[in-house]
């Protein structure tokens, strides 16, 4: 058994979006070993007959023990990653294989037709259509969670605006945003490392107190530079 079919005439390249890789939620939520497994998952899904789905064939998944052997990682790490990636809505797994959520969107392809060998020009079978429906449902949930983080942070800023002086608010808080909210961790986007260091040293306890009051649970915050935010203050 081989994960790379020799009959493929030409394998498509895999796109890696550097800003998302370096600054996105993947880095916040996963350690280096887990990110390595994620990169391997993307490569495996890219070489599949049904691009975006890790599977032995159209209806058969790879056994977890086999995947761990091929990736040369401990089975415990593989199982941990599968569980975490599922909880994070990055993958969906069923009896047909492991689907990478939003793979077609990020790779800019029609997974039914592009990048497949000439002998497999037919439409994808029904099992993959089932996985695609799961992907669409999970994608909607992911977008809702990102929107939730932004809405929560807007409420937090409203409270902070009443508790710090106008100058400090405009200088350090006005150009921040909510990037992610997972369990008890809230990620705050800031324009520069300098702003992150200031807020961590001087406003962490106040921000966590306000966040906990709004979310009704204890929250740990993390500051992360968001290159989309303007650096100028005022």
> Residue 80 is part of a domain; what is its CATH number?
1.10.10.10
Q: Are strands 53-54 and 185-190 parallel, antiparallel or unpaired?
A: unpaired
- Shared domain check, 120 and 23: yes
List 100's β-bridge partners, or say none: 91
Query: Is residue 56 included in any domain, yes or no?
Result: yes
> What is the residue range of 213's domain?
143-225
In a domain? residue 9: no
Are the beta carbons of 28 and 224 closer than 8 angstroms? yes
- What three-state secondary structure class fits 194? helix
Calpha distance 89→149 (Å, rounded): 16
Is residue 103 one of the residues assigned to a domain?
A: yes
Same domain (yes/no): 153, 55 = no
What one-character DSSP code corresponds to residue 57? B
Does residue 25 sit within a domain?
yes
CATH number, domain with residue 167: 3.30.300.180
Q: What are phi and psi of 135, to 5 degrees?
A: -60, -45
User: Nearest to residue 49, comparing CAs of 19, 103, 4?
Assistant: 4
**Among the three residues 94, 124, 154, which one is the final residue of a domain in this structure?**
124
4: in domain: no
pLDDT under 70 in the chain at which residues? 1-12, 105, 108-147, 231-234
Rounded distance, CA 62 to CA 200, Å? 45
| pLDDT confidence of residue 116 | 39
What is the total count of domains within the chain? 2
How many CB atoms sit inside 10 A of residue 156's CB? 23
pLDDT for the residue 121 = 32
State whether 112 and 162 are in the same domain: no
pLDDT tens per residue across span 80-104 = 999 999 988 888 888 888 988 877 7
**Same structural domain, 120 and 24:** yes
Contact 197, 162 (CB under 8 A): no
Q: Do 226 and 189 form a contact (C-beta atoms < 8 A)? A: yes
* Token pair in block for residue 226: 């968001």
In total, the chain counts a number of residues equal to 234
Phi, psi of 53 (to 5 degrees): -125, 125
pLDDT at position 29 is 87
pLDDT of residue 127: 43
Q: Are residues 36 and 77 in the same domain?
A: yes
Give 18-45 pLDDT, tens digit per residue: 877 887 788 888 999 999 999 999 999 9
Q: Are 65 and 71 in contact (CB under 8 A)?
A: no
CA distance 30 to 8: 33
Q: How far apart are CA 66 and CA 73, in angstroms?
A: 11
Instruction: Decide if 81 is inside a domain.
Output: yes
Residue 59 in any domain: the answer is: yes
Beta-carbon contacts of 29 under 8 Å, excluding residues fewer than 6 positions away, are 84, 88, 180, 182, 185
88 and 152 co-located in one domain: no
């Amino acid at each position: 058994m081989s994960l790379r079919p020799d009959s493929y005439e030409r394998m498509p390249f895999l796109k890696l979006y550097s800003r998302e890789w370096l600054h996105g939620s993947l880095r916040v939520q996963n350690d280096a070993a887990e990110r390595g497994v994620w990169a391997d998952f993307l490569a495996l899904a890219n070489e599949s007959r049904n691009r975006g789905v890790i599977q032995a064939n159209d209806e058969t998944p790879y056994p977890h023990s086999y995947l761990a052997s091929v990736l040369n990682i401990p089975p415990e790490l593989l199982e941990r990653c599968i569980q975490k990636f599922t909880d994070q809505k990055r993958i969906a797994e069923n009896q047909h294989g492991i689907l990478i959520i939003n793979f077609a969107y990020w790779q800019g392809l029609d997974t039914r037709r592009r990048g497949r060998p000439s002998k497999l020009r037919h439409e994808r079978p029904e099992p993959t259509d089932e996985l695609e429906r799961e992907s669409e449902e999970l994608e909607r949930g992911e977008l809702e969670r990102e929107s939730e983080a932004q809405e929560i942070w807007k409420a937090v800023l409203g409270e902070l605006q009443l508790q710090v002086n106008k100058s400090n608010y405009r200088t350090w808080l006005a150009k921040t945003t909510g990037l992610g909210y997972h369990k008890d961790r809230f990620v705050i986007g800031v324009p520069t490392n300098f702003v992150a260091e200031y807020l961590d040293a001087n406003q962490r306890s106040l921000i966590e107190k306000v966040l906990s009051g709004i979310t009704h649970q204890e929250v740990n915050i993390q500051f992360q530079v968001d290159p989309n935010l303007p650096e100028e203050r005022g």
